[in-house]
A and B are shown apart, each in its own frame.
Chain A
Amino acid sequence: ETGVTQTPRHLVMGMTNKKSLKCEQHLGHNAMYWYKQSAKKPLELMFVYSLEERVENNSVPSRFSPECPNSSHLFLHLHTLQPEDSALYLCASSQDQEDNLGGGYSPLHFGNGTRLTVT
C-alpha cells in the first residue's frame, strides 16, 4: 500500500458543482496537510491538521472546506470554485515531533496529487 494515497487523480468540475478530494496515509503519522500548486507558483500551504485538530489555515477562501475525521484520513470539500482554483492539490503527512535530541525533523510525505480543472 502506497504511503499517501490521493483520489481522484484528475477532476474536472463546473463552478456550481460540489466535490471532495480524499487523502489517506498509511504511515502512522499524526499530522496531515493540504497544499495547492499552481502553474509557475511556489507551493501554497492551505491547511494543517495535527492530531486531528486544525492548527493552520492560511487565509484560504471558504469555498475550500477541510475535514480530518481521524489521523489517517483527510478530505478537502470543494464548492462554487472559480477557474483560478484550477491547480494541483497535494496532500502530505508527517510525524509531528522531534526524532532525536539533535533536532531531527521528519519530512513531509506527499501523495500523487489531484489535478483539478474548474470550468
Chain B
Amino acid sequence: AQKITQTQPGMFVQEKEAVTLDCTYDTSDPSYGLFWYKQPSSGEMIFLIYQGSYDQQNATEGRYSLNFQKARKSANLVISASQLGDSAMYFCAMREVNFNKFYFGSGTKLNVKP
C-alpha cells in the first residue's frame, strides 16, 4: 500500500484565493511526522510546514496551514491568499519511527492564475 497519496495531479487557483491540497497517509505507528514541501520549476525542495502526530493543534506557518485529521489520516495543506509565486509542485511527506525513512507522495502541481 502507498504510504502517501496525493490524488490531485494538478490544480488551478485564482490569485488571492485560498486553495487546499489533499494528502492522505498510511501508517500503523502511533508516532510520526508529516511534512509539506514546495518545488518550484528551478528544482529545489523547500520545506514549508510540519505536523507531529501528537500535536493537538493544526500547524500554521504564515500563509500555510495544515489541516490535520488524525482519524481520517489526512494532512491537507491550505494556502491562503494565493500568490503567483506559489505556482509549483507540492509534495506531502511522512516520517515514521524508523527515523531514516521519509515517504513522499507523487505531488500536486499548483498553478496560480492572475
Residues of A within 8 A of B (CB): 31, 33, 41-43, 45, 48, 50, 55-56, 88, 90, 92, 96-98, 102-105, 107-113, 115
Verify if B12 is at the interface (C-beta below 8 Å from A).
no
CB closest chain-B residue, reference A105: B33
- A105 interface neighbour in B32, B37, B42, B91, Cβ under 8 Å: B32
Give chain A residues whose Cβ lies under 8 Å from the Cβ of B104. Answer: 42-43
- B47 interface neighbour in A48, A109, A112, Cβ under 8 Å: A109
Bound Cα distance from A104 to B99, whole angstroms: 11
Main secondary structure of the interface of B (DSSP, over half): loop
Bound Cα distance from A96 to B33, whole angstroms: 13
* Residues B31-45 near A (CB distance < 8 A): 31-33, 35, 37, 42-45
- A31 interface neighbour in B50, B52, B54, B100, Cβ under 8 Å: B100
CB pair A108–B100 under 8 Å, yes or no, is no
CB pair A96–B52 under 8 Å, yes or no, is no
* Residues B58-114 near A (CB distance < 8 A): 91, 93, 95, 99-102, 104-107
Give chain B residues whose Cβ lies under 8 Å from the Cβ of A92. Answer: 45
- How far in angstroms is the closest Cβ of chain B from A21? 14
CB pair B43–A103 under 8 Å, yes or no, is no
Give chain A residues whose Cβ lies under 8 Å from the Cβ of B107. Answer: 42
Interface contacts beyond A45-B102, A107-B33: sample of 5 additional A-B pairs, CB < 8 Å, sorted by A: A42-B104, A90-B43, A102-B52, A103-B31, A105-B52
CB pair A110–B52 under 8 Å, yes or no, is no
Verify if B20 is at the interface (C-beta below 8 Å from A).
no
A-B residue pairs in contact (CB < 8 Å), sample of 17: A31-B99, A48-B100, A55-B100, A97-B99, A98-B99, A102-B54, A102-B55, A103-B31, A103-B53, A104-B33, A105-B33, A105-B50, A105-B52, A108-B47, A110-B37, A110-B44, A110-B47
CB pair A103–B100 under 8 Å, yes or no, is no
Most interface-central of B32, B45, B104, B105 (chain A CB within 10 A):
B45
CB pair A104–B52 under 8 Å, yes or no, is yes
Instruction: Give the top 10 A-B pairs by smallest Cβ distance, nearest first.
Output: A105-B33, A103-B31, A110-B45, A102-B54, A43-B104, A113-B43, A112-B44, A107-B47, A105-B95, A48-B100
